[in-house]
Chain A
């Protein structure tokens, strides 16, 4: 490269102050360069230091973190020694930022247009009103928001998540920056919206020549979009290079581990055989736990919610019928708002349907009440999406796992203690974890506990509502393997709900695709993934990232 890079980070070290004497080094000597118009991805798991690096480049480390060494040069100027006032001239003007969560990154009490206009006036001072308005509308149009004039007068809650993220991108673009830092810009969005947003970022880059630093945990996204990928592990760069090279021939063990964990739409269902989890060969026999009968049959389910905005009813579940194979898995795919969580709550009898019938094990359970409903809960269990909220922070793990045993009067005190140890062993946690509280555990460990709790009463059906969506890709792979192994050992049936087609592919025998409360497609997983019958399923499949550089998947241990 003949001309110097736009942004050059070298030997960056960042420490967080934990107490008066201790510091925790989050970033140990990270180096990378971004040239004008280039898209570089920082990839790593939670705790790898990728967000810390991004915040250091933005000068937004906060009170507790400090750059301890190294340099960040932007267009020839050193950023690490800037004062607040100098930072303000750069941040938002020459370096734009797109935050992770569009739901909380906009001020709910101000109109979209005002918020974008503020980003402009902060740097440009007074701008004539008409020119400002025109600029805001142009920006909104540029990021692909329909009817920009109307949208600029709306409040954040009137916009969908994807649209809010576009509005945030418009804010980042407001002062024609040379570099945009996007911290997991699409992690909170549906796969089809994610594709649109990423396509748009790509287009803007080509059109305007803006350099982009993309922070992501998703190697698929990074592979599809980047000129260069930088892989971080524990605050160190373990590998960097072109996406073809990183994805096809990774040199670092960590990259290989990350790659192996990325679920692939093209792979087959995982099966447990001879002590290892592997992909099922195409055409091979179905796992032996699966039987032909159905454990749960739901017919004609309907559920409407009152919409507080319009006053009308929203049909969350509209005439849906499903059947869960005994000992097998029914995968349920859909985007947010498709009604899949409502359906999960209906079949677990946490919500009552407006119409329809739920049969469990050949028995109509739609109208069970009181004691008999509690008895049903012994057989149908639920695992939630967010392992940080589904465990009582005041309960030790042992107490959490004992709760269902106590509720169903299973065993006496010593027997329950033994069962807790057994359950922890089943989900791959040491027995000493019974003494811990949720705050002392990682997300993956908590989700294992949530699964153990669901299995405590030996249910025949477990409903997993986005049970791996909040986890890092490698932890996600471990949990999926755990689920497959548990199914093989205990013969439990699953309803596996996810917005991620690749994840669903790994565990499901049958698939249903939901959209706006309706079931648009149902069939065996092999059939739905190879020959989707409806356009919507095709669109979902096409939107899955990681298509540009497919990599061979190995057998996991």
Chain B
């Protein structure tokens, strides 16, 4: 019987049989919850490091990310060049560090556009229902029908070139998936008795929506955010690769990976290290999102 396993520290007579179950305080401090999980600590460390790179790149990488030393081109990782150098003799590590600001900015904008517009549309559609839902979701379905990259291309052509425009374009392509997840969660939460109980308590619909529905529906959306964070990095870089975003020689993570692709056979480090950094950031974001979801 699963009820047995509900940990509680009640003293009331009706649950006396469970009184010997170990009590767990919910008031555990955030810190203790975090520190008990080494993977989580590592994830926070990775994100903190990358944010620090974005703000003060000079502290972490002293070499010039733009002007290379031609004599040292395509040299393998060494104590001097941790991530090796590229075809123009530029230090890959320095380029990764200096590229983090632009990359983070672009992905954040992309994810924010997706989550704010998408989750907003989904929340309204799921809560208001009726004709509003029908119209909003038909529009979302049209967006889903167009391949994401094609949609981004169309948008960025209209907006003009530049990293932020690329980010906005990627974000718009993400709206549909956020809207659908948010709508389905809102529908699920909206059918629960405590939502009706809130209505029956006389609360205004806006209070019910923002105090009850939104906090309880956000879990899967947060998880999706971490996933989209990863795909956004890749989409932004894909558009950069096509020449819409960061122009060479500006360092940007996605551009670094795609630029190194031509030298994959001779200089594996040019793609591997930036790729590993992207993977580490995406995984860390994922882990943190899961932690936030559980709380």
Question: What residues of chain A have their CB less than 8 Å away from a CB belonging to chain B?
Answer: 16, 18, 22, 24, 26, 45-52, 64, 233-234, 348, 350, 374-375, 377-378, 381-382, 384, 386, 389-395, 403-404, 406-408, 429-430, 436-437, 439-442, 444-445, 450, 453, 456-457, 472, 474-475, 478
User: Given known contacts A16-B4, A390-B197, A392-B211, what 9 new A-B pairs fall within 8 Å (CB)?
Assistant: A24-B21, A46-B4, A234-B17, A384-B193, A390-B193, A394-B215, A439-B26, A445-B15, A472-B14
Using CB atoms, name the residue of chain B closest to A100. B1
Q: How far is the CA of A430 from the CA of B5 in the complex (A)?
A: 23
Known: A47-B17, A389-B194. A403 touches B10 (CB 8 A): no
User: Using a Cβ–Cβ cut-off of 8 Å, how many residues does chain B contribute to the interface with A?
Assistant: 36
Contact partner, A374, options B21, B202, B212, Cβ 8 Å:
B202
Distance (whole angstroms) from the CB of A105 to the closest CB of chain B: 15
CB-defined contacts of B20 to chain A, threshold 8 Å: 234
CB-defined contacts of A52 to chain B, threshold 8 Å: 1, 4
CB-defined contacts of B6 to chain A, threshold 8 Å: 439, 442
Distance (whole angstroms) from the CB of A13 to the closest CB of chain B: 14
CB-defined contacts of A456 to chain B, threshold 8 Å: 201
- Binary CB contact string for chain B from 175 to 217 against chain A (1 if under 8 A, 0 otherwise): 0000000000000000011101111111110010001100110
Known: A440-B8, A457-B202. A474 touches B14 (CB 8 A): yes
Using CB atoms, name the residue of chain B closest to A14. B4
Question: B202–A377 contact, CB under 8 A?
Answer: yes
Question: B261 on the interface (CB 8 Å rule)?
Answer: no
CB-defined contacts of A24 to chain B, threshold 8 Å: 4-5, 21-22
A–B pairs, 13, beta carbons within 8 Å:
A47-B17, A233-B17, A375-B202, A381-B200, A394-B215, A404-B202, A407-B201, A407-B203, A407-B204, A408-B202, A450-B197, A456-B201, A472-B14
CB-defined contacts of A478 to chain B, threshold 8 Å: 14
Question: B18 on the interface (CB 8 Å rule)?
Answer: yes
CB-defined contacts of B17 to chain A, threshold 8 Å: 45, 47-48, 233-234
Question: B10–A445 contact, CB under 8 A?
Answer: yes
Distance (whole angstroms) from the CB of B28 to the closest CB of chain A: 12
B residues 8-52 touching A (CB-CB < 8 Å): 8-12, 14-15, 17-18, 20-22, 26
Question: A392–B198 contact, CB under 8 A?
Answer: yes
Question: A47–B4 contact, CB under 8 A?
Answer: yes
CB-defined contacts of A430 to chain B, threshold 8 Å: 11
CB-defined contacts of A22 to chain B, threshold 8 Å: 22
CB-defined contacts of B3 to chain A, threshold 8 Å: 46-47
Question: A389–B1 contact, CB under 8 A?
Answer: no
Question: B22–A389 contact, CB under 8 A?
Answer: no
CB-defined contacts of A407 to chain B, threshold 8 Å: 201-204, 207
Using CB atoms, name the residue of chain B closest to A438. B194
Using CB atoms, name the residue of chain B closest to A376. B202
Question: B4–A386 contact, CB under 8 A?
Answer: no
Distance (whole angstroms) from the CB of A450 to the closest CB of chain B: 8
Looking at B10, B194, B211, the one whose CB has the most chain A CB atoms below 10 A away is B194
Distance (whole angstroms) from the CB of B13 to the closest CB of chain A: 8
Question: What residues of chain B have their CB less than 8 Å away from a CB belonging to chain A?
Answer: 1, 3-12, 14-15, 17-18, 20-22, 26, 192-194, 196-204, 207, 211-212, 215-216
Using CB atoms, name the residue of chain A closest to B2. A51
Contact partner, A445, options B12, B22, B196, Cβ 8 Å:
B12
Using CB atoms, name the residue of chain B closest to A465. B193
Q: How far is the CA of A95 from the CA of B8 in the complex (A)?
A: 35
Q: How far is the CA of A18 from the CA of B3 in the complex (A)?
A: 13
Distance (whole angstroms) from the CB of B3 to the closest CB of chain A: 5
CB-defined contacts of B21 to chain A, threshold 8 Å: 24
Using CB atoms, name the residue of chain A closest to B10. A442
Distance (whole angstroms) from the CB of B129 to the closest CB of chain A: 15
CB-defined contacts of B215 to chain A, threshold 8 Å: 394
Question: B22–A350 contact, CB under 8 A?
Answer: no
Question: A441–B10 contact, CB under 8 A?
Answer: yes
CB-defined contacts of B207 to chain A, threshold 8 Å: 403, 406-407
Using CB atoms, name the residue of chain A closest to B22. A22
CB-defined contacts of A375 to chain B, threshold 8 Å: 202
CB-defined contacts of B11 to chain A, threshold 8 Å: 430
Distance (whole angstroms) from the CB of A371 to the closest CB of chain B: 10
Question: A382–B203 contact, CB under 8 A?
Answer: no
Q: How far is the CA of A475 from the CA of B15 in the complex (A)?
A: 9
Question: B4–A18 contact, CB under 8 A?
Answer: no
CB-defined contacts of A436 to chain B, threshold 8 Å: 26
Question: A391–B202 contact, CB under 8 A?
Answer: no
Q: How far is the CA of A395 from the CA of B195 in the complex (A)?
A: 12
Using CB atoms, name the residue of chain B closest to A378. B202
CB-defined contacts of B204 to chain A, threshold 8 Å: 374, 407
CB-defined contacts of A453 to chain B, threshold 8 Å: 197, 201
Question: A384–B7 contact, CB under 8 A?
Answer: no
Known: A390-B193, A429-B12, A478-B14. A50 touches B201 (CB 8 A): no
Question: B1–A47 contact, CB under 8 A?
Answer: yes
Q: How far is the CA of A439 from the CA of B295 in the complex (A)?
A: 13
